[in-house]
Structure 1
Amino acid sequence: MVIAFAMTMFFSCAVDLKPEVSFNVPVGIAENIDLKYTDSGKVKANLISPKMLDYSNREFPYSEFTEGITLYIFDKDNNKSTVISDYAIVYDKTGLIDLQGNVVLATYTNDTLFGDQLYYDQNKQWLSTNQPVTFRTDGDLINGNGFDSDVNFKEAEVLEINGIITLDE
């Protein structure tokens, strides 16, 4: 009878040792991060943020930067452009960074882009948005709805221009 009771207890008290992770919470949280994106041994981008939430447990994994970021983008000549935003999401599978809230991009040539959202495609080295922007370049302040550019700003274009102001130097 003792053996039967012990066997019943053994089989009725199964313990599941697999941890359950909710898909609504991050699998990890990192603070004071400094991520570098390299290609062929050269740093192409450097992302700095006070806090990162890691959602790599999702089917489409991403990292969320709820306290903003500073992103340095380096061209082939190692010239540095700087992007600052209040919030960002980096999608691991696509290499796309979605920058949101008070986005400011300052190039090494002192061109500056202001907007509420900007996408940076790490693989194509391309910046774009379909949101309203202000672009300061060569003494002009250009307002428009949308922006496309390579990271060198050699192909920078404000889309749907709705105003150009020439600044006095």
Structure 2
Amino acid sequence: MLLTKKTLFISLFLGSLGFTSCESKFRDIQKIHDKAPFYPAGIAEKMQGQYIDSGRVKAILVSDKMLDFSTVKYKFTEFPEGIHLTFFDNNNNKNTVVADYAIQYTATELIDLRGNVVITTHDNKKLESDQLYYNQRLDWFYTNGKYKASTDKENFTQGVGVDFDGKLNVIKARNSYAESIKKEN
């Protein structure tokens, strides 16, 4: 069968329309996909994880639910039902971090702790806040929100905005005040 110039032209024209139409549909699908909700690559319930270094347990993480979003562009791990983290310093002293919600961003190594955040050290130093950020690279906590820090049951500092090292030794407070409660005899 011989194709005439007219038949060939019509075939090429219709074929190119089909490709253009497919390209348009493909771009529409991409736009929908970019706006669509994404789902975790993994879900763990009633999980407990340990970080071990040089044969020593350095940290124990317990959470009722962990959502792993490691397949999205900006990877993160979410703990929608809170965390209880126990970590041990070089002298094997036990310290804890508790929060109602947490999210850990992989690329920035930043952890966002929210809701009834309480850090307690082995020597009974305590810091409480509604939200606290932790920079894993720098071992540094900070918040622009309200906080309360105490060294014992009778002395505390509270205010808005604070940042401090992971051992609660170096504290830089902003807009704060200190109070000491003395028992009368």
- TM (normalized to structure 2)? 0.71
User: 2: distance between equivalents of 1:77 and 1:105?
Assistant: 18
Select the structure that is richer in helix. 2
| RMSD, aligned CA | 2.1
Match of 1:35 among 49, 58, 82: 49
Quick check: 1:142 aligned with 2:176? Answer: no
TM-score between the two structures when normalised by the length of structure 1:
0.77
Q: Larger radius of gyration, structure 1 or 2? A: 2
The equivalent position to 1:128 in structure 2, one of 142, 148, 152, is 142
**Matched positions, count:** 148
SS of residue paired to 1:93: coil
CA distance in structure 2 between the partners assigned to 1:160 and 1:153 by the alignment: 18
Per-residue deviation, 1:145: 1.1
Q: Which runs of 5+ in 1 are unaligned?
A: 1-19
Q: Residue 62 and residue 167 in structure 1: after superposition, are their counterparts in 2 closer, same or farther (change >3 A)?
A: same
Give the counterpart of 2:174 among 135, 159, 169: 159
2:18 maps to what in 1?
none
Contact 1:85 1:104 (8 Å CA) reproduced = yes
Alpha-carbon separation, structure 1, partners of 2:127 and 2:143: 11
More strand by share: 1
1:35, distance to aligned residue in structure 2 (A): 2.3
Shift of 1:74: 2.3
Structure 1 CA distance for aligned equivalents of residues 93 and 141 of structure 2: 16
Q: Per-residue deviation at 1:157?
A: 3.4
> Residue 57 of structure 1: SS of its match in structure 2?
coil
The whole-number CA distance in structure 2 between the counterparts of 1:78 and 1:23 is 43
In structure 1, what is the equivalent of residue 70 of structure 2? 56
CA distance in 2, matches of 1:73, 1:157: 23
Q: Which residue in the other structure is 1:94 paired with?
A: 108
Deviation at 1:99, TM superposition (A): 0.6
Q: Percent identity?
A: 43
Deviation, structure 1 residue 49: 0.2
Structure 1 position 41, deviation (Å) = 5.0
Deviation at 1:43, TM superposition (A): 3.9
